[in-house]
Amino acid sequence: MKFYQNHWDELAEIKRELADRDWFMGTSGNLAIRVGTCPDTFLVTASGKDKRKQTEEDFLLVNGNGESVEETNLRPSAETLLHSHVFAKSSAGCSLHVHTVANNVISELYGDEGRITFKNQELIKAWDKWGEQDSLSIPIIPNHAHIPTLADAFLPFVVEDRGAVLIRNHGITVWGRNGFEAKKLLEACEFLFQYQLALLSINNTKANI
């Protein structure tokens, strides 16, 4: 058994749950979980794999720069540098990146504003927003094809051990102090996005009656 087997099993279970939601279409998306510090090491999904399947090649161990630390033919996912920034700039334990129709459409609708803000929504409590006047704002950054440039745009928003950033017409990256929290926050975000799109559709229908 590898020394990081428990981390592997935890990340595999998160991958299975998200795959059951069809959040990995076309092999998109990537997941990471911190294994160690001093130096930073983490498991990250291998590039180009069908994430609906469970195999012995689903993840690889990388260092803080996203470089494999074991002999392997696998390549880390394209956005591994985003996870590297999360683990370098916070004490987060898990970082998740998925592409869904809802988060892509929301990022386009509100992309010019640079963020989307939710108020008076029950699920912002996932972020410990309990007050009646509390709000949750999720930043939206441009979808730079050059990953280091994308990572530079992403980095300023890694200021806490949990957070979320939308990439316009690309997807969302969410991180938390552990795997459970990261998944919870991702689920809450996706609920809020779907709610917002449903509300906009209803309001548009009413306006045309």
Asked if residues 72 and 62 have their Cβ atoms less than 8 Å apart, the reply is no
Residue recorded with tokens 């916070």: 90
* pTM of this structure: 0.95
Which pLDDT score, from 0 to 100, does residue 144 have? 97
Please report which confidence band the pLDDT of residue 1 belongs to, taking 50, 70 and 90 as the band edges: low
Which pLDDT score, from 0 to 100, does residue 39 have? 87
Q: What whole-number percentage of the chain has pLDDT above 90?
A: 91
Q: Cα 149 from chain centroid? A: 18
Q: Where are the beta strands (DSSP E) in 29-114?
A: 30-36, 41-45, 59-63, 94-98
Domains and their CATH numbers in the chain: 5-207 (3.40.225.10)
Segment 122-181, tens digit of pLDDT: 999 999 999 999 999 999 999 999 999 999 999 999 999 999 999 999 999 999 999 999
Across all residues in the chain, what is the average pLDDT?
Answer: 95
Q: Which residues contact 180 (CB under 8 A, 6 or more apart)?
A: none
Asked if residues 138 and 189 have their Cβ atoms less than 8 Å apart, the reply is yes
Higher pLDDT pick, 201 / 205? 201
